[in-house]
């Protein structure tokens, strides 16, 4: 009995000693964090066909971090940015991500670039548990109503097609009083994600949706357009990007459809407007979403951007989006008190909405991962044969569009 009591006494002392030690153990910093630096990184196409996008995009990130570092950093930490060229190749992108996380030991990925690379590496990011801020793509896999567990580290900023599809239907109902909406969508992921958003919002608002699918890149969309025309819809959503969008719009005009059209922000460029302006003149208007603006305080943000960015990129939209990526990462970092950990960083980004310096407010609270949630509206200027879009509505949330 004495032997048993002695063993229990020693065990109790050991447990008490360990408990005392645990009280003094410091919270461990995340990888990539020292007392003076925080290392982040990305891979992007800085050579090859997509270099005209990737190079200025990364330049925007680097310029923002230089501004922050020259101002003393964030709570005494300078931000170190590492980059690998993946040439827009998903295989190289996977290898680059592994290197960044396992060899370079980055704290976070900032500006994960390109649809094929993001699509191939998203699960790797989640499994690593590392925060990733800003994705240069709008793929639907980024969308989440309530991210938990491994999904929490994904923080999109750029518009996600699933969210934008909802905004387009909100516009159709709120601004154009549509009760029956035609959606012509492409068979690729972009088209299907825009359709998902459109149908989701239409169901919520109790309006009817008539849908027709066309192949991405199709040159003959007449059957789909005829079906939409015969359905006698009030408004048309063209859920298609790049070359397919003008083909659909031209066919709508050719068949005498006189209903207004809305499309994704991806198509809002002078080049696209020029391809359709002559066909739609006097028949219907083509509207498009946007997610950046330069009015009010945003004009000051633009001036700051232009002060720090290389002269060649002062009006480059890709450099601006890189700047936005750097900004969002840094805003989360500024909110952390004490030891810097991945969990604290995720909590910080979710703690309060963040205003895009060139755009609207993004709210990550409750695990919301919907990307840009406020968009503006423009329409093709029918008087300009060279292609132009005129501003129609300011940045608005869906609730604001719907008068809620």
State the CATH number of the domain containing residue 120: 3.40.50.2300
**Is there a contact between 160 and 139 (Cβ–Cβ < 8 Å)?**
yes
Domain match, 140 and 182 both: no
Please state the length of the chain. 404
Q: Are residues 180 and 256 in the same domain?
A: yes
CB within 8 Å of 308: residues ≥ 6 apart: 63, 64, 66, 67
Q: pLDDT in tens for each of the 404 residues of the chain?
A: 444 334 333 333 333 444 444 444 568 999 999 999 999 999 999 999 999 999 999 999 999 999 999 999 999 999 999 999 999 999 999 999 999 999 999 999 999 999 999 999 999 999 999 999 999 999 999 999 999 999 999 999 999 999 999 999 999 999 999 999 999 999 999 999 999 999 999 999 999 999 999 999 999 999 999 999 999 999 999 999 878 999 999 999 999 999 999 999 999 999 999 999 999 999 999 999 999 999 999 999 999 999 999 999 999 999 999 999 999 999 999 999 999 999 999 999 999 999 999 999 999 999 999 999 999 999 999 999 999 999 999 999 999 999 99
Shared domain for 166 and 308, answered yes or no, is: no
pTM of the predicted model as reported, rounded to 2 decimal places:
0.89
Q: What b/e readout covers 293-321, taking b as 16+ CB neighbours within 10 angstroms?
A: bbeeebeebbeebbebbeeebeebebbbb
Alpha carbons 41 and 313: distance in angstroms, whole number: 21
Clarify whether residues 103 and 190 are in a common domain.
no
In which residue are the tokens 């190289």 written?
92
pLDDT of residue 243: 87
Same domain for 141 and 51?
A: yes
Task: Judge if 72 and 92 occupy the same domain.
Answer: yes
In a domain, 50, yes or no: yes
Give domain status of residue 173, yes or no: yes
pLDDT at position 18 is 40
Same domain? For 318 and 272 the reply is no
In a domain, 353, yes or no: yes
Residue 27 within a domain: no
Query: For strand 180-186 and strand 235-239, is the pairing parallel, antiparallel, or unpaired?
Result: parallel
Question: Tokens 């909100």 label which residue?
Answer: 170
Q: Is residue 12 part of a domain?
A: no
240: domain range? Answer: 162-290+375-401
**Is 24 part of a structural domain of the chain?**
no
Distances (CA, A) of 143 to 161, 262, 350: 9, 22, 15
Looking at the structure, do residues 278 and 189 belong to the same domain, yes or no? yes
Task: Specify the pairing of strand 361-362 against strand 354-355.
Answer: antiparallel
- 211's CB contacts (< 8 A; 6+ apart) are 182, 183, 184, 185, 195, 199
d(CA 377, CA 260): 13
Number of domains forming the structure of the chain: 2
Q: Of the candidates 293, 295, 294, 262, which has an alpha carbon nearest to the alpha carbon of residue 175? A: 262
- Whether 88 is covered by a domain: the verdict is yes
Asked if 248 and 388 sit in the same domain, the reply is yes
Is 355 found in the same domain as 262?
no
20 lies in some domain: no
Whether residues 390 and 277 share a domain: the answer is yes
Q: Does residue 111 share a domain with residue 211?
A: no
State how far the Cα of 318 lies from the Cα of 214, in Å rounded to an integer.
Answer: 30
Beta bridge partners of residue 78, listed in sequence order: 37
């Amino acid at each position: 009995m004495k032997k048993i009591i002695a063993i229990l006494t020693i065990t109790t002392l050991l447990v008490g000693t360990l408990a005392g030690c645990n009280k003094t153990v410091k919270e461990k910093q995340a990888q990539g964090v020292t007392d003076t630096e925080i290392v982040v990184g990305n891979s992007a196409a800085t050579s090859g066909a997509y270099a005209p996008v990737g190079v200025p995009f990364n330049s925007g990130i680097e310029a923002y971090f230089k501004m922050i570092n020259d101002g003393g950093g964030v709570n005494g930490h300078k931000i170190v940015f590492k980059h690998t060229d993946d040439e827009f190749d998903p295989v190289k992108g996977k290898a680059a991500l592994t290197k960044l996380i396992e060899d370079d030991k980055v704290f976070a990925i900032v500006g994960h670039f390109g649809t094929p690379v993001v699509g191939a590496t998203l699960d790797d990011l989640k499994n690593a548990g590392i925060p990733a801020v800003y994705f240069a793509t709008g793929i639907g896999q980024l969308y989440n109503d309530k991210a938990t567990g491994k999904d929490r580290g994904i923080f999109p900023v750029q518009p996600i097609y699933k969210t934008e599809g909802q905004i387009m239907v909100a516009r159709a109902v709120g601004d154009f009083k549509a009760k029956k909406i035609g959606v012509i969508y492409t068979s690729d992921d972009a088209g299907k994600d825009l359709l998902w958003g459109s149908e989701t919002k239409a169901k919520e608002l109790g309006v009817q949706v008539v849908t027709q699918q066309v192949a991405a890149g199709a040159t003959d969309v007449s059957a789909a357009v005829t079906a939409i025309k015969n359905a006698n819809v009030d408004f048309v959503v063209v859920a298609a990007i790049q070359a397919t969008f003008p083909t659909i719009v031209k066919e709508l005009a050719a068949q005498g459809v006189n209903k207004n059209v809305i499309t994704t922000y991806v198509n809002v460029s002078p080049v696209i407007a020029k391809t359709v302006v002559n066909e739609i003149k006097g028949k219907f208007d083509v509207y498009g979403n946007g997610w950046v603006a330069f009015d009010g305080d945003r004009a000051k943000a633009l001036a700051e951007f232009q002060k720090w960015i290389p002269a060649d990129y002062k009006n480059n939209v890709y450099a601006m989006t890189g700047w936005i990526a750097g900004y969002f990462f840094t805003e989360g970092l500024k909110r952390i008190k004490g030891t810097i950990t991945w969990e604290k960083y995720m909590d910080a980004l979710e703690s309060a909405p963040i205003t895009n310096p060139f755009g609207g407010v993004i709210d990550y609270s409750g695990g919301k991962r919907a990307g840009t949630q406020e968009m503006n509206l423009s329409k093709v200027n029918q008087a300009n044969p060279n292609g132009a879009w005129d501003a129609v509505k300011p940045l608005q949330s869906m609730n604001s569009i719907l008068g809620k």
